[in-house]
Amino acid sequence: MTDSWATFGADLHLAPHAGGLRHGLMEALRDAVRTGRLKPGVRLPSSRALASDLGVARNTVADAYAELVAEGWLTARQGSGTRVAQRTEPGGGTPVVRRSPPARRPPTYSLVPGQPDLASFPRAAWLRASRRALTAAPDEAFGYGDPRGRPELRTAVAEYLGRARGVRADPGRVVICSGFIHGLRLVGAVLGQRGVREVAVDSYGLDFHRKALDQAGLRTPCVPIDECGAVVAALGRWSEAGAVLMTPAHQFPTGVPLHPDRRAAVVDWARATGGLIIEDDYDGEFRYDRQPVGSLQGLDPDRVVHIGTVSKSLAPGVRLGWMVAPAAMVRELADAKGHSDWTTGSPEQLTLAEFIASGAYDRHVRAMRLRYRRRRDQLVAALAERAPDIRISGIAAGLHAVLELPEGTERSVISAAAFQGLALEGLSFFRHPDADRERDALVISYGSPSDSAWKGTLDALCRVLP
């Protein structure tokens, strides 16, 4: 607020409050009601008039009024304007009626990682692929399916992964699933049946991956992460670790690729111990300043389960993914799925198979790679100009970046962003409970905002950085 007072018909002093214009105005109005300087039933000026008095935007006043109405401080009726609500002081004969707090409004902007730009889903191309696929589909495609998935999709996936990701696959090794978590649960079930008790995971990662393994009865000790990726040598600490889950192409969330020496070392560990590597290839298609990092599975197809999905390349709403498994494991995974494919519908599988085989998937990925690279470059440029002390990393590939913060500031930056209507997640959110090292940082998804929201999102981010 630019002044410490405003006139509401009668003179009324409003002390300014910190925390932004809207928040400060709301607190000043609450104080005026609490102290009796604004009596029940008093009509407040219009949002236009008060905005003019205070020298703020009309939307700031209108939003403040709306939130105070929702909280029960004010009332708003057509033809009656905005008034102070009737309230009984505590200690009186009638108890104060307390309303439930309003539901938290969704943020205006979001840089929370986890999904791509949903507005860019290729609707027209997907519809064309669906029409062609369903027109050509045999009648049996609409019955109870093979738990491994439709042969058309397994064939298309094997061809694509071999060509684009360096995976050594044939359709017989491919099992279709409904996303990464589904695939991970199936692998966890098979490992449990084999007598495995522990699956090592990265010290920074997604908690629901750990929970999926926990639900299979598997313990999840953590492997440290440094500038070269997972510290593979640490696997020797756990004699019962029968598998390791990792994201070698672009570690999530730190963004570092697994160093070539460590790629070889983890394969050597699997061969020596009879262990299994679960490879999460969650955004392997998106690389910008480097040659593509091939799949770890290509080093030893009999020791690696490669799991991928279209959640980042297309959209998470397309519930389709794949596992490329060691030949000896395929039947166990199919048995874990059940006698029929209950989880992945045939029409969607046929559509994705046609979408890949026609080249539409490659075209979409190339277009999105250019879009995301522009976004990344704009993020880097904005930080260099407006927050030059912030170091950014993990940007050679993927859909997110890590912004290093001064020690002890992660929580305060996230709180400040919430007041700006910007949703952020800190690196601590992804930290394994047993991880040794803590870092103050933000994990920024430059892929998820729409084009129309991108500039405003960047501006909001730069305003809250220290």
Q: Determine what percent of the chain is predicted with pLDDT higher than 70.
A: 90
Average pLDDT of the residues in 355-360 = 96
Question: Is the distance from CB of 199 to CB of 243 less than 8 angstroms?
Answer: yes
CA distance 154 to 163: 14
Give pLDDT, residue 339.
Answer: 81
Question: Is the distance from CB of 306 to CB of 276 less than 8 angstroms?
Answer: no
CA distance 398 to 252: 9
* Tokens linked to 311: 């959640």
Report the b/e string of 254-288 with b at 16+ CB within 10 A.
bbbbbbeebbebbbebbeeeebbbbbbbbbbbbbe
Q: Which residue has the higher pLDDT, 241 or 104?
A: 241
Q: pLDDT-derived band of residue 95, with 50, 70 and 90 as boundaries?
A: very low
pLDDT at residue 346 above 90? yes
Q: Which residue has the higher pLDDT, 319 or 80?
A: 319
Give pLDDT, residue 82.
Answer: 87
Give pLDDT, residue 294.
Answer: 82
Give pLDDT, residue 11.
Answer: 38
Q: pLDDT per residue over 161-213, tens digit each?
A: 999 899 998 999 999 999 999 999 999 999 999 999 999 999 999 999 999 99
pLDDT at residue 91 above 60? no
In the chain, the domains with their CATH numbers are 5-105 (1.10.10.10), 121-359 (3.40.640.10), 363-464 (3.90.1150.10)
Q: pLDDT-derived band of residue 432, with 50, 70 and 90 as boundaries?
A: very high
Q: pLDDT per residue over 288-344, tens digit each?
A: 776 667 899 999 999 999 999 999 999 999 999 999 999 999 999 999 998 878 888
Mean pLDDT (the chain) is: 87
Distances (CA, A) of 364 to 148, 316, 375, 447: 26, 15, 16, 14
- pTM of the predicted model, to two decimals? 0.76
Q: Which has the minimum average pLDDT: 45-59, 105-119, 318-332, 372-386?
A: 45-59
* Tokens linked to 384: 């260099």
CA-based nearest residue to 345, from 369, 366, 318, 364: 318
Query: Which run of H or E residues covers position 223?
Result: strand 222-223
pLDDT at residue 2 above 50? no
Q: Which has the minimum average pLDDT: 1-10, 48-57, 419-428?
A: 1-10
Average pLDDT of the residues in 342-350 = 92
Question: Is the distance from CB of 241 to CB of 200 less than 8 angstroms?
Answer: yes
Q: pLDDT per residue over 118-143, tens digit each?
A: 999 999 999 999 999 999 999 999 99
Question: What's the chain's Rg over C-alpha atoms?
Answer: 27
Q: pLDDT-derived band of residue 45, with 50, 70 and 90 as boundaries?
A: confident
Distances (CA, A) of 462 to 35, 383, 385, 389, 416: 38, 7, 10, 12, 11
Average pLDDT of the residues in 373-379 = 94
Give pLDDT, residue 100.
Answer: 45
Q: Which has the minimum average pLDDT: 40-44, 317-321, 378-382?
A: 40-44
Q: pLDDT-derived band of residue 7, with 50, 70 and 90 as boundaries?
A: very low
Give pLDDT, residue 9.
Answer: 41
Give pLDDT, residue 284.
Answer: 73
Task: Tell me the range of 150-159, 228-237, 406-415 where mean pLDDT is highest.
Answer: 150-159
Query: Which run of H or E residues covers position 130?
Result: helix 123-136
Q: What does the DSSP assignment read for 388-454?
A: TT-EEE--SBSSEEEEE--TT-HHHHHHHHHHTTEE-EEGGGGB-TT-S----EEEEESSSS-HHHH
pLDDT at residue 56 above 80? no
* Tokens linked to 59: 């939307």
Give pLDDT, residue 37.
Answer: 82
Q: Determine what percent of the chain is predicted with pLDDT higher than 90.
A: 62
Question: Is the distance from CB of 153 to CB of 350 less than 8 angstroms?
Answer: yes
pLDDT at residue 93 above 50? no
